[in-house]
Amino acid sequence: MISFESDYIAGAHPRLLRRLLETNLEPLSGYGSDPYCESARTKIRAACDAPEAEVIFLSGGTQTNALVISALLRPWQGVIAAETGHISTHEAGAIEHTGHKVLTLPQHLGKLDSGELERFVTGFYADGNHEHMVFPGMVYLSHPTEYGTLYSLSELESISRVCRANSMPLYLDGARLGYGLMSRETDVTLPDIARLCDAFYIGGTKVGALCGEAVVFPRRAPEHLLTTVKLHGALLAKGRLLGVQFDELFTDGLYFRISRHAIDCAEALKQILREKGCTFYLESPTNQQFLILDNAQLEALRREVAVSFWEKYDETHTVVRLATSWSTTQADLDRLREVLEAPPFLP
């Protein structure tokens, strides 16, 4: 049985585990004050071309989203997101749990449109009743989106422009940022993101770490971040766990190299799926691929290959996700090809 179920089916990239082992018995101070955290911060600032950036390490994506969003908003404000944004749909109300509304706009292949964003904000302030409404306080993007799609540089620039014109911080959820940056179809770099956003995170959990996300505030960070992290229950005593991993991920371009590997695997996967006549739900240039499968085929496939249920397509079809990652192997791809060459896929 092979698995394309997600990009978090394996543990950590072996180099990260090796470094955890090598540094394991060094006595270190806690709460992110150790030299590995500091070194990781320095390397991330360099990679972002953001020498003034504040960088903190958190454990997971929902935790990061709730913490950053509530730290950037004032009580009367909400966060704008696409209706398919992760914070809108699959975080169990973690944003609302901090007291803030998610203001949803239509999605276009998982993305916000800068024109619609601008009209929404302009319309808000033009509405005579707006003081009785939730103020648009910031904008949330995911990049890659939940559908594996990417903003182009000009799209990001347009959104950033609208945000700055309206004093709304722009926050980018980079749970799978490496896969976005290494896509063959992107013109967006990490320094672009640092330049255009006010906060973002570089996802580790889905890109080679056991756990961990590096949150970057390129210019100005919220005050008293350590206390904020503590009061969200998000401060790890052994900050080294995150520091050592990110330090290694940003050594010798490992983060980018393993992301590139996942993209290469995704391109090979797409090639196999196309050859076998599969129907794509949409075109994704990153590591997540979405297929429309006949339910009987899906059942058969699942006997050999783990994939993720995404959503019901119609009464007889289902949308499923296949994800590659740093841990995908050629053997996985070969086996998938074999499965698709046997009945009931090919008669």
Contact assessment for residue 202 and residue 44, using Cβ atoms and an 8 Å cutoff: yes
Q: Which of residues 143-202 bind a second copy (CB under 8 A)?
A: none
Q: Which of 15, 119, 195, 232 binds a second copy (CB under 8 A)?
A: 232
Q: Which of 42, 109, 195, 211 binds a second copy (CB under 8 A)?
A: 211
Q: Which of residues 280-319 bind a second copy (CB under 8 A)?
A: 306, 309, 311-312
Least separation in angstroms between residue 60's CB and a second copy is: 6
> Which one, 46 or 226, has the nearer CB to a second copy?
226
CA contacts within 13 A on the Cβ side of 248: 24
Q: Which of 8, 124, 313, 345 binds a second copy (CB under 8 A)?
A: 8
> Which one, 135 or 151, has the nearer CB to a second copy?
135
Please give the span between the terminal C-alpha atoms of the chain, in angstroms, as a whole number. 22
Least separation in angstroms between residue 36's CB and a second copy is: 11
User: Would you count residue 125 as binding a second copy (CB under 8 A)?
Assistant: no
> Which one, 233 or 347, has the nearer CB to a second copy?
233
Q: Which of 84, 114, 142, 205 binds a second copy (CB under 8 A)?
A: 205
346: closest CA among 308, 301, 303?
Answer: 301
User: Would you count residue 132 as binding a second copy (CB under 8 A)?
Assistant: yes
User: Would you count residue 61 as binding a second copy (CB under 8 A)?
Assistant: yes
User: Would you count residue 70 as binding a second copy (CB under 8 A)?
Assistant: yes
Q: Which of residues 89-108 bind a second copy (CB under 8 A)?
A: 89-94, 96-102
Contact assessment for residue 7 and residue 324, using Cβ atoms and an 8 Å cutoff: yes
User: Would you count residue 128 as binding a second copy (CB under 8 A)?
Assistant: yes
- By rule CB under 8 A, what string of x and - marks binding of each residue 233-272 to a second copy? xxxxxx-xx-------------------------------
Collapsing DSSP states into helix, strand and coil, what is residue 33?
coil
Would strands 213-217 and 54-58 be described as parallel, antiparallel, or unpaired? antiparallel
Helix (H) / strand (E) containing 308? strand 308-314
81: closest CA among 96, 103, 65, 61?
Answer: 103
Contact assessment for residue 234 and residue 60, using Cβ atoms and an 8 Å cutoff: no
> Which one, 17 or 272, has the nearer CB to a second copy?
17
User: Would you count residue 67 as binding a second copy (CB under 8 A)?
Assistant: yes
Q: Phi first, then psi: what are they for 67, rounded to 5°?
A: -70, -50
- Cis check for the bond before 144: say yes or no (omega within 30 of 0): yes
In sequence order, what are the residues at sequence separation of 6 or more whose Cβ sits closer than 8 angstroms to the Cβ of residue 47? 190, 250
> Which one, 245 or 286, has the nearer CB to a second copy?
245
Q: Which of 231, 282, 296, 342 binds a second copy (CB under 8 A)?
A: 231
> Which one, 119 or 195, has the nearer CB to a second copy?
119
> Which one, 107 or 327, has the nearer CB to a second copy?
327
Contact assessment for residue 30 and residue 57, using Cβ atoms and an 8 Å cutoff: no
Which one of the spans 45-53, 64-72, 141-149, 284-292 is the region binding a second copy (CB under 8 A)?
64-72
User: Would you count residue 344 as binding a second copy (CB under 8 A)?
Assistant: no
Collapsing DSSP states into helix, strand and coil, what is residue 210?
coil
> Which one, 119 or 161, has the nearer CB to a second copy?
119
Would strands 77-82 and 102-105 be described as parallel, antiparallel, or unpaired? parallel
Bridge partners, 321 (sequence order): 290, 308
> Which one, 154 or 316, has the nearer CB to a second copy?
316
Q: Phi first, then psi: what are they for 167, rounded to 5°?
A: 55, 35
Segments in 49-189 forming alpha helices (H) = 61-72, 86-89, 94-97, 114-126, 153-165, 177-181
